[in-house]
Amino acid sequence: MVTYGERATLFARNPRRAVRVCATCAAALLVATISYPSQGMADDDPPAASDSKHVLSKGAAPGTHCDDPEAGHPHNYQNHCNLKDVHKLRSPKKASDSGNSELASKLSNPSAPMLAINTYLDVTRHGGSAPEADRASFAITIQPALPFPTRQNKGSLIFRPGIPIQFGQPFVTASGNVDTAVSFGNITLDTLFGKTLDMGLIIMGGVNTTFPTASKPELRADWIFGPEVVIGYASKKTGNVWNAIVGYTWSFPDHAQTVVGQYAYAINLGGGWQTTAAPFWSYSRESKTLRFPLGVGIAKTGLFGKLPVKVGAQAWLYTTPPGPSGPEWTVRFTVSPVVRRPW
């Protein structure tokens, strides 16, 4: 009888089959998200366009920062809406651009309680001192953000499982050469709790876990576990978001210790456009190796039919030598549809 692990290995060793299955799953996921009611602006959705006259008659407007304690939006403690924001609503295009920019900012905020189905395609160029280290690989990762907000806005518990499939992933063999493999990857899970304070400060804490699920033994990680914190700032005036994640992990049974992290920024350009990047970095205490990439990219948030979607591309350039084998640069393409939470 063929075991589950053997079936996973057979699947991973057939690139065409893996691509077909991944494409089918992605298409099914997209159909499911389109058929499900879109989340729009998450918990604080603005009133529908048909209600705009009623809203304007009260001096309020969707997408503005009015002082409305009953609605839970006392952003600027104003007694009336900014006249400039009210005028923006009278132009459907400007109102749409404002909504896209606000949604883009929320999708860039790690504490925002939005259910986004993040899908990443990473193309990486590898190099190093080992023989045959110069290679290219690509990976598909699905990482949904699953938020569970608490009552009275005390924060949100957010789970982010990462499920990768790797193609042409290099590894150093016992003889010191570099070989490649197609593999179902090691699943990761970020568990975070926190919120964005009224002043715009983002504070979160939690744990990150890596599960040894790779179908290729040479790519299978140890059990990895450790705490992590998120510190950032979300500007209410501009919608720009900056944040950094820092974690400390232990692997078992090898007990390797690594400092890991991610820095991210998203600067609004208007109309749902952003210049943004979110590269990962790491420092191994055993090998004294720091891998810290410089990232730059661009993203656009808008509607695909009635479905809010954020798409973008980033480039990460690693500034340190890769050692025997490691990444030199990565290009990441992202697609993040947003759906309404069923809970």
121-179 pLDDT per residue, tens: 999 999 998 988 999 999 999 999 999 999 888 899 999 999 999 999 999 998 888 99
The contacts of residue 302 (CB under 8 Å, 6+ apart) are: 100, 272, 308, 309
Average pLDDT in the chain: 80
Query: What is the average per-residue pLDDT within 300-315?
Result: 95
Confidence of residue 19 (pLDDT cuts 50, 70, 90): very low
What pLDDT does residue 149 have?
A: 94
Lowest mean pLDDT among 33-37, 110-114, 166-170, 283-287: 33-37
Q: Is the pLDDT of residue 46 over 50?
A: no
Q: Is the pLDDT of residue 84 over 70?
A: no
Lowest mean pLDDT among 19-28, 186-195, 218-227: 19-28
Query: What is the average per-residue pLDDT within 16-23?
Result: 51
What pLDDT does residue 27 have?
A: 54
- Sequence ranges of the chain with CATH classification 2.40.160.40: 4-35+105-339
Closest CA to 63 of 43, 38, 37, 45: 45
Higher pLDDT, 9 or 180: 180
Higher pLDDT, 92 or 284: 284
Query: What is the average per-residue pLDDT within 72-89?
Result: 39
What pLDDT does residue 59 have?
A: 39
What pLDDT does residue 258 have?
A: 96
Query: What is the average per-residue pLDDT within 79-106?
Result: 59
What pLDDT does residue 210 have?
A: 97
What pLDDT does residue 70 have?
A: 40
Distance of CA 215 to the CA centre of its chain: 24
What pLDDT does residue 250 have?
A: 96
Residue 116 in contact with residue 91, Cβ under 8 Å? no
The contacts of residue 43 (CB under 8 Å, 6+ apart) are: 113, 149
Q: Is the pLDDT of residue 52 over 70?
A: no
Confidence of residue 323 (pLDDT cuts 50, 70, 90): confident
Residue 73 in contact with residue 62, Cβ under 8 Å? no
Q: Is the pLDDT of residue 248 over 60?
A: yes
What pLDDT does residue 94 have?
A: 54
What pLDDT does residue 8 have?
A: 42
Confidence of residue 20 (pLDDT cuts 50, 70, 90): low
In a 10 Å sphere around its CB, with 0-12 CB exposed, 13-18 middle and 19+ buried, how is residue 203 labelled? middle
Q: Is the pLDDT of residue 33 over 60?
A: no
Residue 43 in contact with residue 149, Cβ under 8 Å? yes
What pLDDT does residue 64 have?
A: 39
Question: CATH homologous superfamily of domain 4-35+105-339?
Answer: monomeric porin ompg (2.40.160.40)
Residue 341 in contact with residue 156, Cβ under 8 Å? no
Question: pTM value?
Answer: 0.74
Closest CA to 189 of 164, 154, 217, 218: 164
Q: Is the pLDDT of residue 240 over 50?
A: yes
What pLDDT does residue 77 have?
A: 37
